[in-house]
Structure formats: structure tokens, C-alpha cells
Amino acid sequence: MGVGAALLSATGQPTPKVMARLAELGLPDLAARLAVHALPVVLVVSAVLLGRALGKGRSKTVRWIIYALLGGVVGFFTGYTIDILVGLPAFIQAVNGPLAAPSVTDIALWAIGAMFIVLGLMMAALAVFGSPAAHAIELEPDDDPEAMDIRKAERGIFGLSSAGAFATGIASIALAIAQQSGDGATLGPSIIALVAGAASVFASIILWNLMDELQRRQVVNAYAVSAVILTAGAFVWSIAEVQGLVPPFSASATFVVITLAQTIAVFIITTAAAGNARVKKRRAA
């Protein structure tokens, strides 16, 4: 996340309004620019360090409450600082033409795209740097050095996962841009979305072939759980739609909900399994 914030910070430009506000506070131009660019990175890195320090020696519930609180505060301020560094939308509008105001679905597509790109960055770090990156990324690094050991074969899988996550992120953002583009300007982003989507599916198929039986079982379990939740959700939405309580669901909104549900299910099932392993190891010790 620190790297992601650094990239956004480096590619963005503070708005004149923000710079004027900082000048009013008495900050020289260079110092103000440095502060605005450094803030997202400083926030993310300090939140991780603070979370680790405050959570040390506390129960799992208290630790995760601390992480959630810090994550909420930092997420808000990082979002705010990224919002004032509006470099990316300006660049897209220069290349693609003017964009309409985003709908709720568009905002969700942008958010999912950003989330997958950050995930891709994290997995790329694991692929390139191995164990040191695992220690840096994990909020709760395992005491057992073996558990944090990442060998060459695993780095390959992380590399491929990273490519898949990047492709999914680009596909989501390109779909949002296509939806926000005016008549005649939707073809370019649609083609990018299709190519990135195809790359994402291709990476998923290769990954599935590289997975062992436990990894495949975790994916199957996660998808089964998300399928039950999504089916129930679709059923309830259908009834609400008939009653005129909610609007009809678009295909892109369906893509957002399915992607989000599957990602959350995979995350919960894999992290819960890792947590169980640590508890059992401590009990055995």
C-alpha cells in the first residue's frame, strides 16, 4: 500500500486550491508540495508500524479492532490526499476525451480496480523480494521463520497472481471509463477492458493448473460460499425490484458484486485457515 500510495503521489499534482490553502498556512511552495506528495506514504507506513506496536501482546480481537480503527482513519486521509492529487483523471480525459460524472457503479468499478492494482503491487513485491516482502506486508508476521519462507516456485505463483490482479484492476477501471465516456469514445476503453479481462481469465486458468490440492480446495470453498450468498442476495433483490423498492441491476453492477463477494470470500477463508494454523501451533508448543 505504501508503494501504491507513493506511485499515486508521484504521478499526481496537487490542485491550485490545496496549494493556496497551504500557502495561507505559511508553508513555502516547495515544502507544501513535498508535504502533499509525502503524506500518503507517511500515513500508510506509520499506520502499519503503529498498528504493530499497539497490537503487540494483545488478544486477537483487540489487535484487529486496532487495525480496523487505524485502517479507517488512514483510509479516509489517504483517500482525501489522493483526491487532491488529481493527476490520473486529468490524464485519462486528455487521452480519451471528457468523462461524465461517475455513477455509483462506476465509483465501485474504480475502487475495485484500485484495490486489485494495490493487491497486484503487493504480490509483485512478494514475487520479486520473497520473504523480506512477506515480513513487510504481513501485519502479524509468523514467529516461525519457515512460515515466512518463500521459495522460487512460490515466487512464480505470486508473479502470475500479480499479473492477474493487475489485469483485473485495469479491466475494471477501463469498464468504468467506457461507461463514463461520451458517444463515439467508448470503443477504445471497451477494447482495453476486453483484452485485460481476457488476460485476467488466462492468468486464472494457468494459476489453477499450478495450484496444489489445498489451494484448489480453498478457492472452491470460497466460491461455493460466495455463490450461496450471491444467490440469496439476487433472490432478495428480485423481490425488492418487483416491489419497486430498488432499481434493476445492470451487468456491470453484477460484475462488481460478484468480484467483490468472491475476493472477500477467498480472503476470509485463506486468512482464517492461516489463523487456525497459528493457534494450533501455539497450543502444541
Partner 1 sequence: MKNQLRVLRAQRAWSQADLAEKLKVSRQTINAIETGRYDPSLPLAFTIAGLFELSIEAIFSPEDAEAGH
User: Which residues of the shown chain bind partner 1 in the complex (CB under 8 A)?
Assistant: 146-147, 149, 151, 153-154, 157, 211-215, 217, 273-274, 276-277, 280-281, 284
Longest dimension (CA), the chain: 65
Closest CB to partner 1 among 46 and 276?
276
Closest CB to partner 1 among 39 and 269?
269
**171, three cell numbers:** 479491466
**9, three cell numbers:** 503521489
**Residue 265 C-beta: closest distance to partner 1, Å:** 18
Closest CB to partner 1 among 24 and 212?
212
**Residue 51 C-beta: closest distance to partner 1, Å:** 24
**Residue 151 C-beta: closest distance to partner 1, Å:** 5
Quote the Cα angle for 223-225-230, to 5°. Answer: 90
**Residue 271 C-beta: closest distance to partner 1, Å:** 12
Closest CB to partner 1 among 157 and 175?
157
**Residue 11 C-beta: closest distance to partner 1, Å:** 35
* Local structure of 247: helix, strand or coil: coil
Closest CB to partner 1 among 146 and 183?
146
Closest CB to partner 1 among 183 and 213?
213
Do the Cβ atoms of 34 and 25 come closer than 8 Å?
Answer: no
Our CA dihedral for 142, 266, 240, 248, rounded to 10 degrees, sits at 120
Do the Cβ atoms of 169 and 110 come closer than 8 Å?
Answer: no
Contacts of 148 (CB under 8 A, 6+ apart): 131, 134, 135, 138, 141, 142
* Local structure of 85: helix, strand or coil: strand
Do the Cβ atoms of 106 and 179 come closer than 8 Å?
Answer: yes
Our CA dihedral for 80, 84, 86, 87, rounded to 10 degrees, sits at -110
**Residue 130 C-beta: closest distance to partner 1, Å:** 11
